[in-house]
Amino acid sequence: MTALAVLDYASVFIFALTGALVASRAQLDLVGFVFVGCLTAVGGGTVRDVILDRGVFWVAEPSFIMVATAAAFCVFFTAHLLESRLKAIFWLDAVALAVAVPAGVAAALGMNALWPVVVIMGVATGCFGGLMRDVVCNEVPLVLKQGELYVTCALAGAASSLALLSLGQPLGLALIGCATVTFGLRAGSLAFGWRLPVYKSRPPRR
């Protein structure tokens, strides 16, 4: 199994958990759990593969859908055991982001894409599944929450992988660096309230 496949399986499983947890907050049925879990799990990778004009990963290997479905089933029967499902969503989503961004970077590098495309594919793979999940479940998308570090984490992680590669580091180390930066920033936002400045309207000058 390739490194990209391992990253894809890991991100699919963890993102599916977050999707199913969001479905539990919306009080959906089992089919709803599976739908939202699978949408979250494969959404970012699908956008990535379509843009890169490569075979969509879960179409070529349907076992990804089976993994996402299994995760959704697990959450359906165990979500009530969690003290705070919202907190679990935030932290699982942070882990999934840290896995999905390197997967997007690796896929783009495998297609010999230029560096701006590599960064964008890292961001897309990490962010679009969660965005679809939140829109479908009528939640405020995490990627758009006021001042919260999310897309910034993906962007910084993808850029750090390119910086490490430019310094002559091997791909594996660059992807680990990408995951570390992505998770570190997202965890800091959740644990310590790290935020970006937001636009505040002002009255027009006379």
Residue-level pLDDT, tens digit, the chain, 206 residues:
688 889 999 999 999 999 999 999 999 999 999 999 999 999 999 999 999 999 999 999 999 999 999 999 999 999 989 888 989 999 999 999 999 999 999 999 999 999 999 999 999 999 999 999 999 999 888 888 777 899 999 999 999 999 999 999 999 999 999 999 999 999 999 999 898 888 887 777 77
Q: 44 and 66 in contact (C-beta within 8 Å)?
A: no
* Dihedral angle, C-alpha 68, 70, 73, 74, nearest 10 °: -110
Longest dimension (CA), the chain: 65
DSSP letters, 163-185, are HHHHTT--HHHHHHHHHHHHHHH
Rounded Cα gap, residues 7 and 25, in angstroms: 27
Q: Which domain holds residue 118?
A: 3-192
Which pLDDT value is given to residue 83?
84
Whether 202 is in a domain gets the answer no
Whether 203 is in a domain gets the answer no
Rounded Cα gap, residues 70 and 40, in angstroms: 14
Whether 75 is in a domain gets the answer yes
Which pLDDT value is given to residue 142?
84
Whether 198 is in a domain gets the answer no
- How far apart, in Å, are the Cα atoms of 95 and each of 13, 26, 28, 43? 11, 22, 24, 16
Say whether 195 sits in a helix, a strand or coil: strand
Among 206, 199, 37, residue whose Cα is nearest residue 129:
37
pTM, rounded to two decimals: 0.92
User: Domains in the chain: how many in total?
Assistant: 1
Among 200, 101, 103, residue whose Cα is nearest residue 147:
200
